[in-house]
């Protein structure tokens, strides 16, 4: 594992020419494998070489489903590589099934650990991860799993802090602050939505008292208000950009917030020729090629994420860098004139207006937003009016706001419960 971490660091932080030569070799191997094992990819790649990647069409989610359904896994038992079936969380609408090799899982572990060494983080600090569990609605309480080290196999070589994983249900976030304070937090790894929920029950100051040294933001972008809170607490924030299909994509620059150094030991990233307007920013759709995707190839795969790409970072990092990263297009509000806009509604904003257990927001048409309020069969007129006014003000006058109280929210087959999703294709 130590050797693998060194290799990752050499590829991503070393000489650009050497890195690009290495990537070209990996891409050539992947294309050769895809041609030999798949009729789908033989037809798609035609006579294109690794030098002509940009000439290939983008791989859509529908086409991915078609390839996997028709051909299954492109690694066989004779390859001697363990393979398992995986699926996305469904945050884009419908979960997608695909195959990954044991090598992919090993790489993800190595790349996560490598960031601590690349950035020079203190590995003696504890690491605490908050993970939302997707059990039936009757599940209650939180569960905690502790171990002496978070470095895995490297724990025999290096002394690290303790590891703690806390699984929770949305309905039990009020218990998390107390649990977090039982032990030094150190590196806090979690999505922003859980922190917003915790802060609706407890002052953010408790994180400082629990010796939180860094927040590693995962799964989605942090709101400006949340970033201001951590700035006030003087707790640094680092975001990690990844996707379930391909693993690590980028890691936030330590000195230039909002810029992500691409995990070039794992992926190639491009932007397509079309552009979109998000607020006052022009962004492109991101296309990702997973260099190690031999079980199910992801070549110029359209994740549905939007952002901008540059050849290097303002910090001096001589490698491709993402910025203006807005995430999934389905997480943005779509306007009738073609504009897209961020739509952040946090539980802390809703709690003073009405009692509820959970909420779900969906844009179902260019002029309609549906808001489901869980744990209620009806709303008082004042509650309804307050909620309606907030959503109307935040979305815009052109939207009709349909507020629906319900005893339990139906989240569908996806594993990731999103507060907002645009359902317009």
Reading the chain (425 residues) residue by residue, the pLDDT tens digits are 999 999 999 999 999 999 999 999 999 999 999 999 999 999 999 888 999 999 999 999 999 999 999 999 999 999 999 999 998 765 555 678 999 999 999 999 999 999 999 999 999 999 999 988 755 543 457 889 999 999 988 999 999 999 999 998 766 778 899 999 999 999 999 988 889 888 888 899 999 999 999 999 988 888 888 999 999 999 999 999 999 999 999 999 999 999 999 999 999 999 987 777 777 788 888 999 999 999 999 999 998 888 999 999 999 999 999 999 876 666 788 888 878 887 878 777 888 899 888 888 999 999 999 999 988 999 999 999 999 999 999 898 899 999 999 988 887 655 455 678 888 87
- Decide if 266 contacts 248 (C-beta within 8 A): yes
Give the HSE-up count for residue 147: Cα atoms under 13 Å, Cβ half-sphere: 12
- Decide if 84 contacts 92 (C-beta within 8 A): no
CA-nearest of 225, 215, 174 to 344 is 225
pLDDT at residue 272, rounded to an integer: 86
As a whole number of angstroms, the distance between CA 349 and CA 146 comes to 33
Residue with tokens 């798949």: 38
Distances (CA, A) of 287 to 55, 88, 249: 13, 17, 11
CATH topology of domain 102-330: Rossmann fold (3.40.50)
What are the structural domain ranges in the chain? 102-330, 343-422
pLDDT at residue 137, rounded to an integer: 45
Predicted TM-score of the model (pTM) = 0.84
- Decide if 369 contacts 361 (C-beta within 8 A): yes
pLDDT at residue 231, rounded to an integer: 96
| Burial class of residue 364 in the structure, from the number of CB atoms within 10 Å of its CB (0-12 exposed, 13-18 middle, 19+ buried) | middle
Residue with tokens 């150094």: 261
As a whole number of angstroms, the distance between CA 155 and CA 124 comes to 11
Cβ-proximal residues to 130 (8 Å cutoff; 6+ apart), any chain: 166, 168, 176, 188, 189, 190, 191, 194
- Decide if 166 contacts 130 (C-beta within 8 A): yes
Task: Provide the sign of the torsion angle of the four alpha carbons 209, 212, 217, 221, taken in this order.
Answer: positive
As a whole number of angstroms, the distance between CA 98 and CA 95 comes to 10
CA-nearest of 345, 421, 359 to 92 is 421
Token pair, residue 192, equals 């922003």
pLDDT at residue 251, rounded to an integer: 96
Distances (CA, A) of 405 to 165, 328, 374, 378, 408: 33, 27, 6, 5, 9
- The total number of residues shown for the chain amounts to 425
As a whole number of angstroms, the distance between CA 274 and CA 284 comes to 6
Token pair, residue 167, equals 């699984």
Token pair, residue 214, equals 């860094």
pLDDT at residue 124, rounded to an integer: 96
As a whole number of angstroms, the distance between CA 254 and CA 214 comes to 11
385 phi/psi in degrees, rounded to 5:
-65, -40
Eight-state DSSP code of residue 382: H
As a whole number of angstroms, the distance between CA 302 and CA 290 comes to 12
- Decide if 108 contacts 244 (C-beta within 8 A): no
pLDDT at residue 225, rounded to an integer: 86
């Amino acid at each position: 594992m130590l050797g693998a971490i060194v290799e990752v660091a050499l590829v991503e932080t070393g000489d650009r020419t050497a890195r690009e030569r290495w990537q070209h070799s990996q891409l050539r191997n992947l294309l050769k494998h895809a041609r030999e094992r798949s009729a789908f990819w033989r037809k798609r790649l035609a006579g294109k070489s690794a030098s002509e990647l940009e000439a290939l069409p983008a791989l859509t989610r529908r086409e991915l489903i078609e390839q996997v359904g028709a051909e299954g896994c492109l690694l066989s038992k004779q390859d001697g590589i363990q393979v398992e079936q995986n699926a996305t969380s469904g945050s884009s609408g419908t979960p997608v099934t695909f195959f990954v090799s044991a090598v992919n899982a090993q790489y993800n572990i190595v790349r996560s650990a490598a960031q601590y060494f690349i950035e020079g983080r203190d590995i003696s600090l504890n690491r605490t991860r908050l993970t939302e569990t997707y059990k039936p609605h009757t599940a209650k309480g939180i569960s905690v799993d502790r171990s002496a080290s978070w470095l895995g196999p490297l724990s025999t070589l290096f002394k690290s802090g303790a590891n703690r994983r806390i699984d929770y249900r949305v309905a039990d976030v009020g218990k998390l602050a107390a649990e977090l304070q039982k032990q030094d937090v150190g590196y806090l790894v979690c999505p922003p939505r859980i922190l917003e929920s915790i802060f609706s029950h407890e002052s953010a100051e408790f994180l400082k008292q629990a010796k939180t040294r860094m927040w590693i933001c995962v799964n989605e972008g942090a709101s400006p208000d949340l970033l201001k809170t951590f700035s006030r607490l003087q707790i640094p924030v680092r975001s990690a950009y990844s996707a379930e299909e391909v693993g690590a994509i980028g890691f936030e620059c330590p000195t230039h917030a909002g810029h992500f150094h691409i995990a070039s030991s794992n992926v190639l990233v491009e932007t397509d020729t079309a552009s979109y307007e998000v607020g006052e920013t022009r962004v492109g759709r991101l296309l990702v090629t997973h260099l190690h995707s031999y079980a199910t190839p992801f070549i110029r795969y359209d994740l549905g994420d939007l952002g901008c790409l540059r050849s290097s970072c303002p910090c001096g990092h001589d490698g491709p860098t993402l910025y203006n990263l807005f995430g999934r297009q389905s997480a943005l509000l779509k306007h009738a004139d073609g504009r897209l806009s961020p739509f952040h509604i946090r539980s802390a904003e809703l709690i003073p207006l009405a009692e509820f257990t959970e909420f779900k927001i969906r844009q179902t048409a260019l002029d309609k937003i549906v808001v489901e309020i869980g744990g209620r069969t009806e709303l008082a007129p004042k509650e309804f009016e307050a909620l309606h006014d907030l959503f109307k003000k935040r979305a815009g006058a052109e939207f009709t706001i349909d507020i629906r109280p319900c005893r339990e929210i139906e989240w569908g087959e996806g594993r990731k419960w999103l507060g907002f999703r645009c359902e317009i294709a």
